[in-house]
Chains A and B, each alone.
Chain A
Amino acid sequence: MHRFANPAEFNRLADAILPWAKIIMAAAFAYGLYLALFTSPPDYQQGESVRIMYVHVPAAWMSMFTYMVVAAASFTALVWRHPVALLAGKAAAPIGATFTALALITGMLWGKPMWGTYWVWDGRLTSVLVLFFLYLGYMALWRGLDEEDKAGRAASILALVGVVNIPIIKFSVDWWNTLHQPSSVMRMDGPTMPAEMLWPLLTVALAFKAYFIVVFLYRMKLEINLRKLTVLSSIEARG
């Protein structure tokens, strides 16, 4: 048996991590928002609207990161038949989808003052949109099959096919974007960013990551307890 295959073991581990993750989350959110809203300078071109970036970019990072978590959990679940890993993918996916939606919504809100319209088929936004669809498919497949275990493994196969395709999709969308839209509008990344903008960005990213851990662990505990409930009720049904 694997070490964390034992759900009770996992619960103990989660309970040990949770308080620390909560503290980091609260501190990083408070400090990050303070930096982002007050100390960081407005952009000389975009003005105050640049502050959306401090939510948008970390959310986009998290959308990718969470998909990798789902893919890794799926791989573990399929190869080692790890029951807790199966639930890890299920627990992580909605968080990832939420971050992806957040990245899309903030991207659109940012687009309005910058491009004069909410949606532009910008390469990065389009990739995030496709990623959002991948999340939707993964979650729909979990719900689509009647048997929990099979549903999880089917969704895991999909997640692995998806993770192979993500770089291809990203590349093809960039390719398509340069064909149809030669001028790249949004270039906020890279080492050219001044430190007073980079720090709030990284702090909020840390806060998001801690938030992910907190929600993820709670969702895992929930899933494990639901399993327990199923077990207990089926024992009861047998008499």
Chain B
Amino acid sequence: MSGGVNTSAIFRAIFMRDVRLAWSQGGTGTMALSFFLIAVTLFPFGVGPEPQTLARIAAGVIWVVALLACLLSLDRLYQADYEDGSLDDLALSPLGLTGVAAAKILAHWVATILPLVALSPILGMLMNLDAGAYGMLVLSLLVGTPALSLIGSVGAALTVSVRRGGVLMSLLVLPLYVPTLIFGVGAIDAAAGMTDPLPHLAFLGAVTLVALVIGPIASAAALKLSLE
């Protein structure tokens, strides 16, 4: 019946809509970026400004803060649409809810996370990151952060109808972020310590691929619940 449906055009339309909303007034784009910057600069105040100390924890701090920034910005991924009724429309898209979730996750990653990745070398400098590890910092974030958006989307979808669901969502999602954090930081530390970062990076990519399979499907299943 719907042979003429142009799914890639719909995917693109939803993607563009969300990118636009992320960077409009009250969107998550600037918020996450500012949080990323400010939260990282708190660490030197907390642990002291010694360059060696900062260099030792640089990779971990940047990854953990990127992870929290991601979590903060995912809070409203579906909730805003749920509250204003546009989730009803998204559910009626011929793309299907799984496709809709995929488009929205991709938009979140591109609009909110990619700027953090681009900014990360500056934070590396602030944290006195080892000179040889900058490339790996960006690469590991590029490979690993999609998993954060994908898994976080499941948490956001599960808590979509919960008022102030952000805290609950953190509780659901943070344990699932552990592997990404371990392999992401591992790759940077390996590069800084002149060992082979490739195994870390390979596992990091594998976690992202698993998340790619689970994320949109589980998100769609969770969203369906909230629409009933």
Q: Which of A133, A134, A154 contacts B225 (CB 8 A)?
A: A154
The interface size bin for chain A is 20 to 34
* Stretch binding the partner chain, chosen from A3-11, A172-180, A186-194, A223-231: A172-180
Interface of A, helix, strand, loop or mixed by DSSP: helix
Residues of B within 8 A of A78 (CB): 221
Residue of A nearest to B211 (CB): A165
A168 vs B206: C-alpha distance when bound (angstroms): 10
Task: Report the minimal beta-carbon distance from B167 to chain A, rounded to whole angstroms.
Answer: 9
A137 close to B203 (CB less than 8 A): no
* Stretch binding the partner chain, chosen from A65-73, A91-99, A156-164, A199-207: A156-164
B175 close to A161 (CB less than 8 A): no
Q: Which of B184-228 contact A (CB under 8 A)?
A: 186, 189, 203, 207, 210, 214, 218, 221-222, 225-226, 228
* Stretch binding the partner chain, chosen from B8-16, B120-128, B157-165: B157-165
Q: Which of B145-168 contact A (CB under 8 A)?
A: 151, 154, 158-159, 161-162, 165, 168
Residue of A nearest to B179 (CB): A172
Residues of B within 8 A of A169 (CB): 175-176, 178-179
Task: Report the minimal beta-carbon distance from A190 to chain B, rounded to whole angstroms.
Answer: 25
Task: Report the minimal beta-carbon distance from A160 to chain B, rounded to whole angstroms.
Answer: 7
Task: Report the minimal beta-carbon distance from A48 to chain B, rounded to whole angstroms.
Answer: 35
Q: At the interface, yes or no: A198 with Cβ under 8 Å from chain B?
A: no
1/0 contact trace for A136-167 toward B, CB 8 Å?
Answer: 11001100111000100110011011101100
A169 vs B210: C-alpha distance when bound (angstroms): 12
Residues of A within 8 A of B221 (CB): 78, 157
B171 close to A137 (CB less than 8 A): yes
Residues of A within 8 A of B218 (CB): 157, 160-161
A137 close to B175 (CB less than 8 A): yes
Q: At the interface, yes or no: A105 with Cβ under 8 Å from chain B?
A: no
How many residues of chain B are within 8 Å of chain A by beta carbon? 29
Residue of A nearest to B168 (CB): A144
Residue of A nearest to B213 (CB): A164
A172 vs B202: C-alpha distance when bound (angstroms): 12
Q: At the interface, yes or no: A24 with Cβ under 8 Å from chain B?
A: no
B175 close to A164 (CB less than 8 A): no
Residues of A within 8 A of B210 (CB): 164, 168
Q: At the interface, yes or no: A101 with Cβ under 8 Å from chain B?
A: no
A165 vs B175: C-alpha distance when bound (angstroms): 9
Q: Which one of A141, A153, A173 has the highest number of Cβ atoms from chain B below 10 Å of its Cβ?
A: A141
B158 close to A141 (CB less than 8 A): yes
Q: Which one of A134, A153, A158, A164 has the highest number of Cβ atoms from chain B below 10 Å of its Cβ?
A: A158
Task: Report the minimal beta-carbon distance from A237 to chain B, rounded to whole angstroms.
Answer: 22
Residue of B nearest to A134 (CB): B175
1/0 contact trace for A112-146 toward B, CB 8 Å?
Answer: 00000000000000000010011011001100111
Q: List 24 A-B contacts (CB under 8 A).
A: A78-B221, A130-B175, A133-B175, A137-B171, A141-B159, A145-B161, A145-B162, A146-B161, A150-B228, A153-B225, A157-B218, A157-B221, A158-B158, A161-B214, A162-B176, A168-B207, A172-B179, A172-B183, A172-B203, A172-B207, A175-B183, A175-B186, A179-B186, A179-B189
Q: A154-B222, A165-B179 are in contact. List 19 more A-B contacts (CB 8 A).
A: A133-B175, A134-B175, A136-B171, A140-B171, A144-B159, A144-B168, A145-B161, A150-B225, A157-B154, A157-B221, A158-B154, A158-B158, A158-B172, A161-B176, A164-B210, A164-B214, A169-B176, A176-B182, A179-B189
Closest 9 pairs (CB-CB, A-B): A172-B179, A133-B175, A137-B172, A176-B182, A172-B182, A137-B171, A154-B158, A144-B168, A144-B162
Q: What is the interface of chain A, defined by CB distance below 8 A to chain B?
A: 78, 130, 133-134, 136-137, 140-141, 144-146, 150, 153-154, 157-158, 160-162, 164-165, 168-169, 171-173, 175-176, 179
